[in-house]
Amino acid sequence: MNPRRRRLLIPGLLVALIVVVVVTSLIDRADAATDEPVAVLGDARITESSGLAVSAAHEGLAYTVNDSGNAPEVFAVDLASGAVVGVTTVRATFRDVEALALRDGTLWIGDVGDNRAERDDLALYAIDEPGRASGTVGARRYPVALAGGPADVEALLAPPDSDLLQVVTKSLGGGMVMTLDEDDLDPDRAAEFEATASGLPALVTDGAFSPDGSRVALLSYGSLWTIDPADWSIAGSRSLPPLEQAETVAFVDDDAVLVGSEGADSPLYRLDLPVGAASADGPATVATSVPEPSASAPAEVAAASRTGVAVDTRTVVLVGVGVAALVVLVVVLARRRGPSEGSRRAIR
């Protein structure tokens, strides 16, 4: 490359990189300008909140749990103040709890996190909803597996007025819905989640059903998605307020959710469920056909979920920023190498 052009290219790429970052920041700030947290989880014991469920039986109460490496505790949180008003210690050994779901007085605890897609010990734990009480309880443990093989999961759904339980896989290529019936749960053998829909948003970190069962909220690192569970199509999406690492979502009524984050002193935001903005962040509909599961697995599960994928805008931006930074690095290194030996000889 002509040295003069190369000198101009480097600052040009840097400017483009800065513009991308600034524009993304301004978009996020504009979307979040009217959002104020309704509470802050300030208890020092809650540092990695990775599941959230709002009680229907106890007004103004929610439950949360830390993820891997923490004690097997469920925290009851007063939503008016963010204070912990009860701690339930579960007689169990959790490995990587990533999700909570609450239905008909049963709190389901999803020990289903699997960042490396290698676990063979996934499990669901069921306890009676504790309310504001504190104490130690036993749990009903049910081993589970995913048809097609291991995959990372951070969302557990309990559709109202049904006996179904569902998970949504977390994948850069797009999520997949997998379903089982409570009647298939057995403490002595692994019940298998079967794939039932594909093409959900990428990198889903939590999800929940609305109380009336008409909609599903899915959370990714940068967006909140409204899903129609009749065909798993996307009905709307919006960017999130500033969150360190968005990991929790739960309905407070049929039209609004709380979203939260990992980290100390993490805020909870109340957001209206987005409708009609899906075109901004992904396709208006998604594919729902799922191939027959096979024993080969993680690769096939990921491939199936790429059909009709809805990709988080922030994910695309971050990938773009990474590519731009890589280009800048390559150009800088090329500049440092200077002219080749052949060129030096020609100059002499």
Percentage of the chain modeled with pLDDT above 70: 70
The stretch 34-40 carries a mean pLDDT of 86
**By 3-state DSSP, what share of the chain in percent is helix, strand and coil, each rounded to 5?**
20, 40, 40
The stretch 253-267 carries a mean pLDDT of 97
**Using CA atoms, how far apart are residues 26 and 348, in angstroms rounded to an integer?**
53
Parallel, antiparallel or unpaired: strands 191-200 and 140-146: parallel
DSSP per-residue letters across 227-288: EETTTTEEEEEEEPPS-SSEEEEEEEETTEEEEEESSTTEEEEEEEPP-S-GGGTS-SS---
Q: Which residues contact 282 (CB under 8 A, 6 or more apart)?
A: 201, 225, 234, 237, 309, 310, 311, 312
Percentage of the chain modeled with pLDDT above 90: 68
Task: Note the pLDDT of residue 335.
Answer: 53
Instruction: Report CA torsion sign: 184, 102, 170, 77.
Output: negative
- Is pLDDT larger for residue 101 or for residue 286? 101
Q: Which residues contact 277 (CB under 8 A, 6 or more apart)?
A: 236, 237, 238
User: Domains in the chain, start-ordered, CATH in brackets?
Assistant: 34-317 (2.120.10)
**Using CA atoms, how far apart are residues 34 and 241, in angstroms rounded to an integer?**
9
In the structure, what pLDDT confidence band is assigned to residue 35 with cuts at 50, 70 and 90? confident
**Using CA atoms, how far apart are residues 290 and 154, in angstroms rounded to an integer?**
20
Can you list the positions of beta strands (E) in 48-104? 49-54, 61-66, 73-78, 84-90, 99-103
Q: Which amino acid is at 32?
A: A
Supply the mean pLDDT for the chain: 80
With b for 16 or more beta-carbon neighbours within 10 A and e for fewer, the 36-48 pattern comes to ebebebebeebeb
Q: Which residues contact 84 (CB under 8 A, 6 or more apart)?
A: 43, 45, 46, 75, 76, 77, 78
> Would the pTM of this model clear 0.85, i.e. be above it?
no
Q: Which residues contact 269 (CB under 8 A, 6 or more apart)?
A: 35, 36, 37, 38, 240, 241, 243, 258, 259, 260
CB 83 within 8 A of CB 108: no
Tens-place pLDDT, residues 193-239: 999 999 999 999 999 999 999 999 999 999 999 999 999 999 999 99
Backbone phi, psi, residue 279, to 5°:
-65, -20
User: Within the chain, what is the greatest distance between any pair of CA atoms?
Assistant: 86
276 Ramachandran zone, left/alpha/beta (phi>0; psi -120 to 50): left
Task: Note the pLDDT of residue 34.
Answer: 55
Tens-place pLDDT, residues 104-159: 999 999 999 999 999 999 999 999 999 999 999 999 999 999 999 999 999 999 99
The stretch 283-301 carries a mean pLDDT of 35
pLDDT at residue 312 tops 50: no
